[in-house]
Structure 1
Amino acid sequence: MTSARPEIDPELHSLLNGLPLGTTLDHALLPTMRQFAAASPDTLLDGRAVTRRDLAAVHPDGTPIPLTVLSPDSDTASGAAGPGAAGAPCVFWIHGGGMVMGNRFSQLDIPLDWLDAFGAVVVTVEYRLAPEAGGATLVEDCYHGLRWVAEHAAELGVDPDRIIVAGASAGGGLAAGAVLMARDLAGPRVAAQILVCPMLDHRNSTASSRQFSGIPGVWTAEMNAFGWAGVLAGLGRGAVPPYVSPALADDLSALPPTYIDAGSAEVFRDEDAAYVHAIWAAGGEAELHIWQGGFHGFDALFPQAHLAVAARRTRTDWLARILTRSAVRIASAQA
């Protein structure tokens, strides 16, 4: 362990003083943490012109995979599809929670920003959690939810060529794994992926992992080890697939445009930067933002903080460019 580490942004540091920070996570603490992490959509949806539908995909093992579809009301969605598009853009959202907590409404305000900005349909998935489920089950739940969305695009009012896969923290890692599966299993098409401080590497051995070990925080190296242990237990003695731990992927070619951001003061900083560098090395398109002074999940916990506002605006601006480019390409193809 090293005592040298990037400082947290002063505004964020003062806000952190009101949170009950810890160093470790274990089976005894997990029920309490799950209660804290569980979210309800009611406050977020109150006053929004949004239609909600609760549906389900099905895993090949027969387990239902709950999905919530949030669509802008028709009178607020004018122009959302873009010129020549077959429907609205869709954000397939995968929540965070270290693989062990959270639900499909966790961090939902992040993709709801894109519903407001672009008229996007948001579909959020309830994947099974570790340690009760492990191995590839979590990422498979996400992948089969994504397949369901693509297969039902017409009835959802979604353009199948403009499905964006996005997630935060554990959800960012699962999003990366699901996109790798979509590439390798011949579909569905993914227009872009947005990985917010993603959990990508089970080895938990980077410099940033060591920097944020042994000190209280929102998500520490010790907590990270606990979350990964629950997932890896489901693999037995088998090798860890890159769909489960995307940092292991030795081929990151043919991925959709990728946006990754993280804070300088968090465990995932270095594995996230390495993933973007690997995409660039494979000739891919990726954008990386490391927010100086940001801790893990800073913009989800304190969205009104100055650094969080900048992070969210930059993310949304990137998605606007991707969607504009897509709309122009569609219009040109139909001309």
Structure 2
Amino acid sequence: MSRKGLIDPESREPLEQLLAAMPGGFNAIPDVVARRAALKSIFEGVEAPEFPDVLVEDHMVPGPDGAAEVRVRTYRPKSSPGNAPGIYYIHGGGMCLGDIDGEDVTASTLSSALGAVVVSVDYRLAPEHPHPAPVEDCYAGLAWMAGQAGQLGIDPGRLVVYGGSAGGGLTIATALLARDRGGPPIAFMMPIYPMIDDRNETPSSHEIVDVGVWDRDGNIEAWQWYLGGSPADQYAAPARAEDLTALPPAYIDVGTVDLFRDEAVDFAQRLMAAGVPCELHVNPGAFHASEIFAPDAALSQRIRATRLAALRRALGISSS
């Protein structure tokens, strides 16, 4: 049975416009390079706000052992006092799409609204670079950020890892690596509708087949590309992790019409059972990344506001 009728009406209108222009959604495009171009074109021409209070710079930083350098982009408030919170930002895109250019507005918004130094990582993508290349790039960028905390003006005690979809899965995987390798201490993580389970066995993974944004077939294909024929470990698919103790406090949100709904809810419950504080929000009527595709909807505005409020609480930032 189609779940389209459960989508928030105000959020559904932009989705229908997208699907009219791109029947079947961008996952219906078989070639991954063409799919990347199509996704990029969706947001080209959209008027983006300017952030004159934020300084933006690109850096090439040491990559994983034996691999090339990794590009990161920093967003720093011009008025930073030198001990700002740090947000390590991991973009989404199903492990095979997306880049840091497409995240400029969100990263700049976080920096401006929170007075935070944001570091966004341009990790390698599957299928050209399957697991563990993406997560190892993410970990290398985090290690650089922590090591450069003084130069970047970051308070090393207020380091957050943030990402949506694939970026949410990589957020958790990076936190697992940091825990297991004795790496940079992470004060808080915010995996948004995270992509964390390669098995595709949950009820919601069977329900979401025709919404047009990250449906079942596209998710199965993305996992095949990401794993490259190898079995998944906990750093590829964090839902497989058996030990969730000693992970950072977390905030997770997901929509009721999102394929990742059940794996996100289950993971949040497992975090709590492991003694990890976790705030969970399930947004009625939201489809996958609906706040991106329907940014003006009241539901989208509530989703973004709730995330910012959670970040302020976690970082000890006054809301005034």
Query: TM-score with structure 2 length normalisation?
Result: 0.91
Residue 123 of structure 1 is matched in structure 2 by 119
In the alignment, the residues of structure 1 paired with residue 23 and residue 280 of structure 2 have an alpha-carbon distance, to the nearest angstrom, of 28
Aligned amino acid, residue 8 of structure 1: I
What does 1:33-182 correspond to in 2, within 5 Å? Answer: 33-38=35-40, 44=48, 46-57=50-61, 58-74=63-79, 77=80, 87-182=83-178
Aligned amino acid, residue 273 of structure 2: A
Residue 220 of structure 2 is matched in structure 1 by 225
Contact 2:157/2:187 (8 A) holds in 1: yes
Residue 210 of structure 1 is matched in structure 2 by 206
In the alignment, the residues of structure 1 paired with residue 207 and residue 179 of structure 2 have an alpha-carbon distance, to the nearest angstrom, of 34
Aligned amino acid, residue 11 of structure 1: E
For residue 104 of structure 1, report the CA deviation from its aligned partner: 1.3
Percent identity of paired positions between Structure 1 and Structure 2: 38
Residue 252 of structure 1 is matched in structure 2 by 244
In the alignment, the residues of structure 1 paired with residue 31 and residue 105 of structure 2 have an alpha-carbon distance, to the nearest angstrom, of 26
In the alignment, the residues of structure 2 paired with residue 164 and residue 270 of structure 1 have an alpha-carbon distance, to the nearest angstrom, of 24
What does 1:258-273 correspond to in 2, within 5 Å? Answer: 258-273=250-265
- 2:72 is paired with a residue whose SS is strand
- 2:17 is paired with a residue whose SS is coil
Q: CA RMSD in A?
A: 2.3
Aligned amino acid, residue 54 of structure 2: V
In the alignment, the residues of structure 2 paired with residue 301 and residue 175 of structure 1 have an alpha-carbon distance, to the nearest angstrom, of 22
For residue 36 of structure 1, report the CA deviation from its aligned partner: 2.9
- 1:289 is paired with a residue whose SS is strand
Residue 331 of structure 1 is matched in structure 2 by none
- 1:46 is paired with a residue whose SS is coil
Residue 201 of structure 1 is matched in structure 2 by 197
In the alignment, the residues of structure 2 paired with residue 149 and residue 139 of structure 1 have an alpha-carbon distance, to the nearest angstrom, of 15
Query: Which whole-Å deviations, capped at 9, do the CAs of 1:109-156 have from their partners, x for residues lacking one?
Result: 333332122210111000000000002111111011100100111111
Aligned amino acid, residue 93 of structure 2: G
In the alignment, the residues of structure 2 paired with residue 162 and residue 47 of structure 1 have an alpha-carbon distance, to the nearest angstrom, of 23
Aligned amino acid, residue 28 of structure 1: P
For residue 163 of structure 1, report the CA deviation from its aligned partner: 1.1
Residue 300 of structure 2 is matched in structure 1 by 308
Aligned amino acid, residue 193 of structure 1: M
Gaps of 5+ in 2: none
In the alignment, the residues of structure 2 paired with residue 325 and residue 117 of structure 1 have an alpha-carbon distance, to the nearest angstrom, of 10
In the alignment, the residues of structure 2 paired with residue 185 and residue 6 of structure 1 have an alpha-carbon distance, to the nearest angstrom, of 46
* Number of residues of Structure 1 aligned to a counterpart in Structure 2: 312
Contact 2:91/2:167 (8 A) holds in 1: yes
Residue 330 of structure 1 is matched in structure 2 by none
Query: TM-score with structure 1 length normalisation?
Result: 0.87
Residue 31 of structure 2 is matched in structure 1 by 29
Which of 256, 267, 286 is 1:294 aligned to? 286
Identify the range of structure 1 (30-39 vs 150-159) with the bigger mean alpha-carbon deviation.
30-39
For residue 66 of structure 1, report the CA deviation from its aligned partner: 0.4
